Amino acid sequence: MNLGDQKKDQFAKQFSAGLVLFAMLMMVAIFLFQYAPIIAFFWISGLAFGYILQRSRFCFVAALRDPALTGSTAVTRGVLVALALTTIGFTAVKYFYHVTGQTIPGQNYIQSIGMNTVVGGTIFGIGMVIAGGCASGMLMRIGEGFKIHLITLSGFFIGTMLGNNHLEWWSNHLLWIKDGVFLPDLFGWVGALIIQLMVIGLLYRLAIKWEEKQEL
Amino acid sequence: MNMEDQKKFRKWFKPSWSYVTGAVLLSILQVITLIVTQEPLGITSAFSYWAMRLQGFLGFGTPDHWAVVTQLMGFREALWFEENLVTLRNLGIILGALLSALLASQFRLKKIKSGKQLMAAALGGLLMGYGSSIASGCNIGAFFSGIGSMSLSGWVFGLFLFVGALIGGKLLLRFLI
């Protein structure tokens, strides 16, 4: 057997292992579904999330890091598209709940704004670049076989423990807007949607310009 | 299925998708998740949950502190997979990526290259853990879901993520590459 054949053999093996894994994952899904459909949903949405991230090489770290590091904005533009589409989808869902008089879902993701946002964002940004992966990227790469990201995960866990114990302090000090800002409360539903999409569009154009500038 | 068909079937899983395809699919996943679970996607609340559990088990930290974090992070109090469904989803992310990598024959067990890489991973993880727990979220929960939910906090977090990434990039060039 020459090297090429060995390689092909390896491919076939991995593919077969993948099919076995798929069958096992679906069996777990059926078990969870019988237990409670919502639990099966969390399971399957996680699998889909990981699958999409791996297959499309979608990386939030690269999106925020590469414009300055390599000048490439391809991933950045991908993330901007995701932000725009999710904004439209979420706003449609939220508006539907609003006009039908139901509780708007996901409003606990409207976080307070304060020094915790600034410091948290900055050190998260530093951490993800030096570790080469954020929370989702790290989980995805563990699945791809990167042992190093098990170390990142351990560090993440210890950092979380420290942060949890300081959370009370951060939420009582230097908190500027305690209840957060839901943009439609400020600009109206349509106004907020237009403003946000315009900002995303502007960033998209900036990303294209930035990459063109690098090529010159 | 004969050999040729099998090969064709295999090839279908091989090519990477474009970033835009990824963006579209992730957005669909976000919207379905919002409707079904009444919450956007998030990851790090699971880490907070287990950090709290471990701390409680080891016996340091006050009991009412647990309540504060639960309330601040917006947990739902509910067998381990039932108790914290975000953990189950995170496990799904790992296995979904493994599935994708296997089907495309891209799975490789990658060794840790050096002590330097080990330090960078541990320190990076530590910073991300601390940052995400005080800002209540990561690139997914606070940034992607935050902005998608039209929360100003998502934009502020994103701006400083960018600032952090700039600093991180400088550190990377100075110490690691």
Residue B125 has its nearest CB partner, among A48, A125, A151, at A151
The complex's ipTM works out to 0.93
Q: What is the pLDDT of residue A214?
A: 83
Whether pTM > 0.80 for this model: the answer is: yes
Has residue B72 got a pLDDT over 70?
Answer: no
Cα–Cα distance for residue pair B141/B154, rounded to 1 Å = 9
Residues 6+ away with beta carbon under 8 Å from A201? A84
Query: For the segment B148-175, what is each residue's pLDDT rounded down to a tens digit?
Result: 999 999 999 999 999 999 999 999 998 8
Q: Which residues in chain B are closer than 8 Å to A51, comparing Cβ atoms? A: 96-97, 99-100
Q: For an interface test with A, which of B21, B41, B98, B117 has the most A Cβ atoms less than 10 Å from its Cβ?
A: B98
Q: What is the pLDDT of residue B63?
A: 47
Q: What is the pLDDT of residue B62?
A: 52
Name the most confidently modeled range: A32-41, A113-122, A160-169. Answer: A113-122
Q: A76 or B78, which is more confident?
A: A76
Q: A8 or B164, which is more confident?
A: B164
Token reading at B134: 């005080």
Q: What is the average per-residue pLDDT within A132-136?
A: 93
Has residue A152 got a pLDDT over 50?
Answer: yes
SS3 label, residue B110: strand
Written as one letter, the residue type at A38 is: I
What is the share, in percent, of chain B residues with pLDDT greater than 90?
Answer: 66
Bridge partners, A177 (sequence order): A113
Q: What is the pLDDT of residue A199?
A: 98
Question: How confident is residue B71, by pLDDT bands cut at 50, 70 and 90?
Answer: low
Q: Which long-range contacts (CB under 8 A, 24 or more apart) does A210-216 make?
A: A210/A67, A210/A71, A210/A73, A211/A71, A211/A72, A211/A73, A211/A74, A213/A71, A214/A71, A214/A72, A215/A71
Query: For the segment B3-51, what is each residue's pLDDT rounded down to a tens digit?
Result: 778 788 888 888 899 999 999 999 999 999 999 999 999 999 999 988 8
Q: What is the pLDDT of residue B64?
A: 52
Residue A56 has its nearest CB partner, among B16, B32, B173, at B16
- Check CB contact under 8 Å for A131 and B120: yes
- Check CB contact under 8 Å for A124 and B98: no
Q: What is the pLDDT of residue A5?
A: 67
Q: Show me where the domains of chain A are located.
A: 1-56, 59-215
Nearest Cα of chain A lies from the Cα of B118 at a distance, in angstroms, of 7
Q: How far apart are the first and last CA of chain A?
A: 49
